[in-house]
Structure formats: structure tokens, C-alpha cells
Amino acid sequence: MKIASNKLSDLYAFYKSELATNYEQDELMSVFELVCERYLNYSKTDVKQHFHENINQSDLLKIYDACLELKTNSPIQYILKEAFFYDSFFEVNPSVLIPRPETEELVDIIITDSLIENQTTILKQPITKILDIGTGSGCIPITLKKQFPAATVVGIDISDKALEVAKRNSIKHNVEVEFIKLDILSAFNSSLITHRSSLIISNPPYVLKSEAEQMEKRVLSHEPYLALFVEDNDPIIFYKRIIDLCDKHLESNGFLFFELNPLYAHKVNDYAIASNLFIFSEVLLDMSGKQRFLKAQKK
């Protein structure tokens, strides 16, 4: 199909015909609005208001190119090179996971807990040092650093390319976060993490390879394998390792927060309790009622 004119409405008609098999009707309008927000700086209301007006040729070409990329099932966030997380946009590319709403919820739990106190503490513990394990785009440590400006914040990841994105995001957000390359599963030199943290947080890879078949093509063929999957024979390998590390790297009374695979939430909690490192360890539900987060406090 050709685009009938430079009118936004004709461009939308083009999206509808080209992407009919890629998106549901409602989803398609949201995608179109995101593209217009990025390239035309239009809000949703602006899209409606200017729907029957012409746009210039250069903007039309950008929106046309985005449609061709969407046809390959590339996620919209990779095409626009940004994803919204918590309260702002983060650069993303295919070397980092697109931040998910569940992870925003996890960050929100920490921030809300701290607001109940006095913006610098969770349950009366000062948050002075934060460690994020498997940092990806850096969305977690950067958002937390903005909330707790006095804290020393470190993000670690095994992927050089992810760390490059995370560093650019910390510059974009004008916050100081130290990013370190580290394979958390290896017997690393623990002096690389020089301090004991008051808060350790992680959203590690947690999808089983056997779960891959049920996943959307858009996720499976575009998002980094390394960020998503764990071997079926040890689905909680990252959680066990991080819990073990809490012995040396989490302060007394400090907090551990995980995002979990609901299928294994109880196994992770059981491991945390059996470690005998914590005053308490509990599984929290996400907004859809799934067992999604772990919160534990060190003895």
C-alpha cells in the first residue's frame, strides 16, 4: 500500500494496513501515538487534534521507516531507542532488556517504603550504599540514585554493551552511578565490590529455557538472551548466588530486594530463610496478584 498523502490520518491508515498481522487494533493506536510523540513531539491529544493535517516530508519519512521496522517485529522501544521507566526515558538498544512495569513496581516498593520513613531510610535503616546486580540499561540504580542522592550507587553486569548503555543513561540523567563489569556467577575477586551495601537489588535472568516457546516473538527474537534466560536444571541459580553474597556484601539490618519468577518465588524464599542470614524474608505480590518480589532484611 502507498501512503495517500502527507496527512497523519493517511499515515495511520498505512500503519493499519502494514501492521495488521503484527498488532491488535488498540495496540496499534498506542504504538502510532508513541511514534508521533517521539518524532513530532505530539501528545495523544495532539495526535487527535492534528489527525487530518499534513506533516512535513522529513517527519513523514521517519514515521514511515519506523513502520517498516515494526513490521519485522522489532519492539517499539528499540526502534525509538528509548523506553519509559518510573518517571523518565532511558536509552535502550538490543543489548539491554526493555525495562518492564514489574521492575518499576519493585523500585516503587523501595521508594514508597522509604517515603513512609523520611526519604533516606527503609524501615529506619539509612540507605547509604546501593548495589544493583544485573543492571542492564541502568534503569534501577539511576532511578534509585535520583531518589537517594546521598547514597553511593553501584550497578554490575556481565555485558560490556549493556554497561555502555547504562553509563550513557547515567550521564543523560546527570547522576553518579559506578558501573562494574562482573560475572556474578563466577568466583570473582570480591574486592571489586568494595563496600557492604545497605540495599542490594536484583532483577536477574529468570525465564526458563523451556518457557521460551510460550513467549512473544517480539521478545524472543529481539531482546538479549543473556538478560532473560536461565537453565531449566537450576532456575534459581542467580538468586542463590546473590543470597550467598549477602553474607559478605550486605550490611547488618540492610535489605535485599528481588524481582522473581512467580513459578519459583517460594523456592527463592525458602533458600533465603534457610540461609539464616535474615531477620525476615517475604514474598510480595505484584499488581496482577503474582508472587513477584522478595523482600528480606539481614540480621
Ligand X SMILES: C[S@@+](CC[C@H](N)C(=O)[O-])C[C@H]1O[C@@H](n2cnc3c(N)ncnc32)[C@H](O)[C@@H]1O
| Cβ neighbours for 280, distance < 8 A, ≥ 6 positions apart | 296, 297
Nearer to ligand X (CB atom), residue 74 or residue 121: 74
Nearest to 97 by CA among 34, 144, 158: 158
Task: Supply the minimum distance, in Å, between the C-beta of residue 103 and ligand X.
Answer: 4
CA distance 199 to 104: 17
Closer residue to ligand X, CB minimum distance, 16 or 161: 161
| Nearer Cβ to ligand X (204/235) | 204
Residue 167 CB, nearest distance to ligand X (Å)?
13
Closest by Cα among 235, 224, 104 to 159 = 224
Q: Which is nearer to ligand X, 138 or 254 (CB)?
A: 138
Instruction: Give the shortest CB-251-to-ligand X separation in angstroms.
Output: 21
The pair phi, psi for residue 196, each rounded to 5°, is -85, 135
Evaluated on CA atoms 231, 236, 242, 245, the torsion sign reads negative
Give the shortest CB-28-to-ligand X separation in angstroms. Answer: 25
Site of interaction with ligand X (CB under 6 A): 97, 99, 103, 134-137, 139-140, 156-159, 162, 182-185, 203-205, 226-227
- Non-local CB neighbours of 49 within 8 Å, separated by 6+ positions: none
- The DSSP output letter for 257 is E
Q: How far is the CB of 207 from ligand X (least distance, A)?
A: 8
Q: Are 75 and 222 in contact (CB under 8 A)?
A: yes
Measured from the CB atom, the residue of 11 and 133 that comes closer to ligand X is 133
